């Protein structure tokens, strides 16, 4: 349950700083020691001490007028970014290349063409070594401009090489742009809709995929071309619920980084996301042993200097590892043990609230709710599901639907019969409106409506009937999505066999483990 964080951008930036970054800023700013700079140090100290942003308190404490405070905040924000840039340039390839580019432009503008070209040559080597071909295109563009406008005594061979490089880079960037756009738009489709609902969704997605890969994808040699192609196939497979293909492309995604380990530090975000997707695929396939191996590998990585280096990636690594840990408890049926993660998780999510997107928060709330539901604490499950139901966001309509369905089942388990009839109608209408009803849900609603009229003694045969009706749908492509959100079959088996849901799922886990 996360509190709202201040949206003031300067306050957020200061709160994100580490001790070494704060110390560096103080040293950086005090070198100039102008009056304005001394004032922004006072402002920095005041904001650093605040728990929550309070502008009125700030003006009173520092005796600043509103316009003066506004100007100082803008100045402080710029100086903080300048300080961070100075501190982080040697650690970040993109910042290094930007600095080289800026220096080359400055020297060129001063008329020092040869010095500019030397810097561009050095920068090109860095860009090539780190697969930074977008930067390489900019560097070559400036180099061509200098060679075109001035007599630099460059050899004919070098000029021809420059034109060949330029053509190759342009063709490469065009392919990468198409593939990265495809990966992004497929991911966006999933964030909005979740898994494909029917043949029409599948057909539309596959046609879209085909249109965006109308070039030879069997001979892609560049890291980024392969990365975005694997990402695109991963998202397409996941949306289609082809979990085996999702796993294969998730593995290719990670193998690409392991073939060129340098790229883990260059594209940390893509590596971390790849590990998350691979773990998701293994969860969907219930491949327990490999899931444990990959999770251990990911946890080990998160403790390395590289894994701890950047705030953004450190936070996302934490998020993905804890989603995987919850998934591990969901697939083994160890719900109560999984709930031990929740207090620490809520504390960290509150701390990271400003840096996480609403989609990620929604997924966590749903996962935590299913832990509570599986452990039999239906009241707490409802608390977390209400956070999704009452949060009117235009994304993950599938998750919004299943949050309502699990919320309905929790009230059913609690025996809140006076709510059930109106709640059942409301949830059915919502799921129908979102075109989210499959055969499984239709059968569930039939059972729930019937349950209003029959006694507790007569309910068991009806549960058995429902279980027999939907069990054969477990491997149907479009029904699979129902079981991906909640293990309805295990829930029904627990009712029929008069065991806890935890016992049923744990028993299945142990059987599969013995067979593997």
3-state secondary structure labels for all residues of 370-387: HHHHHHCCHHHHHHHHHH
Between CA 150 and CA 157 the distance in angstroms is 17
Between CA 355 and CA 132 the distance in angstroms is 26
> Taking a C-beta distance cutoff of 8 angstroms, is the pair 482, 438 a contact?
yes
Pull the structure tokens for residue 305.
Answer: 């200097």
Nearest alpha-carbon partner for 187 in 244, 252, 239: 239
Residue 366's Cα: distance from chain center in Å? 16
Nearest alpha-carbon partner for 73 in 35, 52, 47: 47
From first to last of the 516 residues of the chain, give the pLDDT tens digit. 444 445 788 998 998 888 888 988 888 887 765 555 678 888 999 999 988 888 888 888 888 888 889 999 998 999 898 888 887 776 778 888 989 999 999 998 888 888 888 999 889 988 888 888 888 888 888 888 887 776 565 656 777 888 888 888 888 888 888 899 999 999 888 888 778 877 888 888 888 888 877 766 666 668 898 999 999 999 999 998 889 999 999 999 999 999 999 899 889 999 999 999 999 999 988 899 999 999 999 999 999 988 888 788 889 999 999 999 999 999 999 999 999 999 999 999 888 877 888 888 899 999 999 999 999 999 999 999 999 998 877 777 788 888 999 999 999 999 888 888 899 999 999 888 877 777 888 888 888 888 878 877 788 888 999 899 888 777 666 556 667 778 889 999 999 999 999 999 999 999 887 776
Residue 232 vs residues 253, 260, 279, 423: alpha-carbon distances, Å: 10, 20, 17, 39
Pull the structure tokens for residue 16.
Answer: 């994100």
Between CA 516 and CA 33 the distance in angstroms is 68
> Taking a C-beta distance cutoff of 8 angstroms, is the pair 422, 404 a contact?
no
Between CA 451 and CA 420 the distance in angstroms is 10
> Taking a C-beta distance cutoff of 8 angstroms, is the pair 333, 506 a contact?
yes
For residue 3, give the DSSP letter.
P
Tokens 């090539």 sit on residue: 128
Phi, psi (degrees; rounded to nearest 5) at 218: -85, -15
Pull the structure tokens for residue 292.
Answer: 């444990």
pTM: 0.77
User: Helices H, strands E: what count in the chain?
Assistant: 28, 0
């Amino acid at each position: 349950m996360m509190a709202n964080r201040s949206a003031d951008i300067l306050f957020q930036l200061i709160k994100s700083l580490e001790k070494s970054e704060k110390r560096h800023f103080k040293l950086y700013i005090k070198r100039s020691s102008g009056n304005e700079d001394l004032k922004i140090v006072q402002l920095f100290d005041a904001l650093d001490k605040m728990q929550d942003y309070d502008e009125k308190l700030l003006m009173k404490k520092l005796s600043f007028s509103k316009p003066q405070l506004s100007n100082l905040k803008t100045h402080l924000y710029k100086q903080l970014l300048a300080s961070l840039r100075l501190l982080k340039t040697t650690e970040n390839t993109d910042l290094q290349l930007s600095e080289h580019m800026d220096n080359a432009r400055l020297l060129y503008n001063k008329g020092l063409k040869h010095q500019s070209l030397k810097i561009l040559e050095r920068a090109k080597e860095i860009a090539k070594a780190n697969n930074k071909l977008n930067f390489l295109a900019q560097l070559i563009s400036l180099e061509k401009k200098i060679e075109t406008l001035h007599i630099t005594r460059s050899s004919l061979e070098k000029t021809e090489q420059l034109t060949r490089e330029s053509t190759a880079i342009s063709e490469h960037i065009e392919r990468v742009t198409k593939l990265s756009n495809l990966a992004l738009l497929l991911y966006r489709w999933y964030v909005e809709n979740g898994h494909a609902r029917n043949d029409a969704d599948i057909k539309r997605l596959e046609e879209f995929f085909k249109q965006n890969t109308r070039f030879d994808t069997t001979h892609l040699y560049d890291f980024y071309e392969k990365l975005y192609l694997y990402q695109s196939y991963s998202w397409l497979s996941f949306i289609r619920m082809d979990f085996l293909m999702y796993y294969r492309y998730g593995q290719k995604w990670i193998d690409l980084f392991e073939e060129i380990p340098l790229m883990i530090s260059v594209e940390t975000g893509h590596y971390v996301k790849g590990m998350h997707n691979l773990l998701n695929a293994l969860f969907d396939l219930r491949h327990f042993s490999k899931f444990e191996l990959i999770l251990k590998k990911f946890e080990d990585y998160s403790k390395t200097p590289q894994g701890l280096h950047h705030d953004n990636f450190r936070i996302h690594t934490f998020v993905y590892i804890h989603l995987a840990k919850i998934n591990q408890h969901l697939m083994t049926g160890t719900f109560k043990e999984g709930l031990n993660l929740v207090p620490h998780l809520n504390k960290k999510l509150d701390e990271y609230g400003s840096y996480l997107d609403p989609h990620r928060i929604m997924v966590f709330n749903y996962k935590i709710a299913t832990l509570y539901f599986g452990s039999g604490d239906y009241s707490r499950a409802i608390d977390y599901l209400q956070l999704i139901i009452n949060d009117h966001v235009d994304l993950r309509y599938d998750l919004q639907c299943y949050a309502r369905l699990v919320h309905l089942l929790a009230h059913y388990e609690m025996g809140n019969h006076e709510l059930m009839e109106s709640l059942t109608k409301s949830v059915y209408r919502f799921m129908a409106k979102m075109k989210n009803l499959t055969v499984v849900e239709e059968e569930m609603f039939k059972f729930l409506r019937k349950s209003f009229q029959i006694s507790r003694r007569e309910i068991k045969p009806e549960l058995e009937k429902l279980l027999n009706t939907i069990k054969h749908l477990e491997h149907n492509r479009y029904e699979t999505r129902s079981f991906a959100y909640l293990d309805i079959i295990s829930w029904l088996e627990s009712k029929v066999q008069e065991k806890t849901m935890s016992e049923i799922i744990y028993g299945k886990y142990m059987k599969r483990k013995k067979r593997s």
